[in-house]
Homo-oligomer: A and B are copies of this chain.
Amino acid sequence: MSKSNTYNVAVVGATGAVGQKMLETLEDRNFPINQLKLLSSSRSAGLKTTFKGKEYVVEEATPESFTDIDIALFSAGGSVSKKLAPEAVKKGAVVIDNTSAYRMAEDVPLVVPEVNESDIKNHKGIIANPNCSTIQMVAALEPIRKSLGINRVIVSTYQAVSGAGNEANDELREQSQAFLNGEELEANILPAKGDEKHYPIAFNALPQIDVFQDNGYTFEEMKMINETKKIMHMPKLSVAATCVRLPIFTSHAESVYIEVEQDDVSVEQIQSLLAEAPGIVLQDDPATQTYPTPLSSAEKKDVFVGRIRKDLDEDRGFHLWVVSDNLLKGAAWNSVQIAERIVANQWL
């Protein structure tokens, strides 16, 4: 399949917001690629994109596309993954799937390498990449859980539009210019592409990401709740989420309340746990107005944490502000990171 520790890699959804970031990240990390195949739905087939200075024509993904592929990174929507990921596995590829299609399937590991890297080795062909807002939160919570225990999480999110793809970026850009010109705002994509109603996002806040479930929570909220429990191996963890889309292009922010299991924990203890944790950058100094923001975190691979405060009433309660680039750690970088761990450990 591959020669001298290089791998045949397919990127499915190569022209999308996440697909483009996957290519950038593979290039940036100098991932050991033998042959690269760029795939997409029929709609985008024929488009061209470059990798390491070389031009590639994007081909329509079919079951045959995966012959001789070692690793397939999927980010072309849940329906494409449902149809083609099993075909890729049949052809011998390991699939790293960035959609929600397989995340909660019992035999599919759901992985954030800083949290549960070793789950990868149990894969049966598919490894799922978690939801963007979940990844950055569990990356920040795990170092705290390991030392102090955590039994409760309440999160309110501040999410960028790029999580809804390039069309949502265009919509924010066009609506913002229309607003500044004093024109009417036209909404066709957000809050959720397939949903009945659309509302303007420019200079607004939409308390709906993805569609509503029967219990009154949105699918995005349920993803955060269920995926957090699965990744952290804590089925009994109390998790609540309110997910809000904002007029931000890149990086999700989260206001996270946690309760630890130990008494008398100090802010300094939590700060030093996070300062030493892999993939986490502590930016927390009120005296110098130091804290992460979406703009300061964009185009970076790390998860940034600041505004760590002890609750004023609950001794075990702490508040954190967690920010990360939703297309990188939230999607492309976490997927490539999984691919790197697979080849480093030979978990193919």
Contacts and interface: CB of A to CB of B under 8 A. Distances in A.
Interface of A: 152, 154, 156, 158, 172-173, 176-177, 180, 191, 195-197, 199-200, 203-208, 212, 215-217, 225, 238-240, 242, 244, 246-249, 253, 255, 257, 267, 286-289, 291, 293-296, 306-314, 317, 319, 321
Contacts of A205: 158, 246, 248, 253, 293-294
A215 B200 CA distance: 38
B207 A319 contact: no
B216 A267 contact: yes
B240 A313 contact: yes
A246 B294 CA distance: 11
Contacts of A215: 309, 312
A193 to B, nearest CB: 13
A287 B208 CA distance: 12
A186 to B, nearest CB: 13
B207 A286 contact: no
Contacts of A319: 240, 242
A268 to B, nearest CB: 11
17 contacts: A158-B205, A173-B180, A176-B180, A197-B288, A203-B249, A204-B293, A205-B246, A205-B248, A207-B255, A207-B307, A208-B289, A212-B289, A215-B312, A239-B313, A242-B319, A246-B247, A247-B248
A158 B177 CA distance: 22
A203 B295 CA distance: 8
Contacts of A306: 207
A248 B176 CA distance: 11
Q: Which of A205, A255, A309, A313 has the largest number of chain B CB atoms within 10 A?
A: A205
Contacts of A321: 207, 242
Contact of A247 (B244, B247, B289, B309): B247
Nearest to A151: B313
Nearest to A161: B203
